[in-house]
Amino acid sequence: MSKKLSKVEMNVISNEIVKKVNEKKYEKIKGKLEKDVDFKKLEKLSKELSELNKKVSEKNKLYSEICLKVRNKFEIINVYRCNEGEVKVMFNSNLNVYNDLVLYSIGKDLDVESLINKIVEKYS
């Protein structure tokens, strides 16, 4: 009696078949690839990209370390880089603004701009 293969087993077997077919096809053209000008350019570019990615990774690590120092020094919640390369900072957004809005507006004519300015002044 033969066993019916599960979906996972089918995937594993088909992946192995594709892998072996690719290896055989590669072996057939390996000599030609090694002599091909464009393939040599690809290999060179690949090495250059790897080196650049390594440098970018090192810069990102340094950037993160310095961000942490700045955050701790100035009690900033987050320091981040915009698309234009500009560095921005974010402060605590868990201010109790709601209560102040209610307190400052009770029984008064509501001047929204003045109210906003008072609360901004309080928290900055």
- Strand, helix or coil for residue 79: strand
Are 75 and 89 spatial neighbours (Cβ–Cβ below 8 Å)? no
Parse the chain into domains and list their residue ranges.
7-83, 94-124
Average pLDDT per block of 10 residues along the chain, 124 residues long: 85 95 96 96 97 97 94 89 88 76 74 80 78
Q: Residue 51's pLDDT is what?
A: 98
Q: How far apart are CA 1 and CA 4, in angstroms?
A: 10
Are 103 and 88 spatial neighbours (Cβ–Cβ below 8 Å)? no
Q: Residue 17's pLDDT is what?
A: 96
Angstrom CA distances, 76 to 70, 80, 88, 93, 97, stand at: 8, 11, 11, 11, 18
